[in-house]
Amino acid sequence: MKENSIKKKLAAGKPSIGLWHSLCSPLAAEYMAHVGWDWMVVDTEHSPVGFETMVHCFQAITTTDTLPMARVAGNDPILIKRLLDAGAMGLVIPMVNSRAEALQAAEACRFPPEGRRSLGGGRALIYGSDYFQRANDEILVVVQIEHIDAVRAARDILSVEGIDACFVGPNDLAGSMGITPATTPVHPDHAAAIMEVLAAAREVGKPAGIHCADAEQVNLRIDQGFQFIACANDAAMMRAAATEAWKKIRSHIETKTKPT
């Protein structure tokens, strides 16, 4: 089976940096994968991507060394099974707030006897004839800690066998604390909760990840010890670049047309 290079990096204590794919476009996914990210997560929770389009995005990403992943819409064994069968080399599972929910996610991602994933066919078999034998070791399972209840239960969540890493969702975490959502924490309690997750992950011996707004924040989180880190998403990058270009053009036009 295809080796999961993300798991290898994380196990070696190295950062693994990727991108959220929100544009629902195989062409955009292909362009962004060729940048060289370690992984790309096709977001099926907060984007309107359809299932077949998601598969096409996986196909586009795998024209490169970037690994295709997906964020599931919810911690649902049926949704998890379909995404893995479609070829996701890893999953990000949202709003996991307890050990019981972590167990459910881990079992849904693993074949028996370690889990409850159905041994069906599917596109994932392109990764090798030994897929059924090796998938439990190669599929990356990342649970999102994005609620204050999950922060308090982080050690219990991460101690579940089959959970490979956690990923902080800063906006939902802030919302659960009654704080204005922010990818870059401003409120000290928000910042402290994020660092509490990192401390719990270190204690348990599992990598911690987080969503960042830009490259500068990614570098800061790497220095702090986070490993599985997302640098914004392709839609945000497109908007930012287009907005900056238009501002420069508009400023130039306004300067040229200013009365003398």
46 is an active site residue: yes
CB 178 within 8 A of CB 135: no
* Whole-Å CA distances, 216 to 184, 213, 222: 11, 8, 10
Smallest CA-to-CA distance from 190 within 176, 200, 211, 203 is with: 176
Catalytic residue among 21, 46, 56, 211: 46
Find the length of the chain.
260
What pLDDT, on a 0 to 100 scale, did the predictor assign at position 52? Answer: 98
Helical (H) or strand (E) element with 6: helix 5-11
Per-residue pLDDT band for 25 (boundaries 50, 70, 90) equals very high
Q: How many domains does the chain have?
A: 1
Per-residue pLDDT band for 260 (boundaries 50, 70, 90) equals low
For residue 245, the domain's CATH number is 3.20.20.60
With the CA atoms of 107, 43, 14 and 97 taken in that order, what torsion angle do they form, in degrees rounded to the nearest 10? Answer: -50
What pLDDT, on a 0 to 100 scale, did the predictor assign at position 119? Answer: 94
Sign of CA dihedral 61, 62, 68, 73: positive
pLDDT, one tens digit per residue, over 237-247 is: 999 999 999 99
Task: Name the residue range of residue 76's domain.
Answer: 5-256
CB 37 within 8 A of CB 66: yes
Q: What is the mean pLDDT of the chain?
A: 96
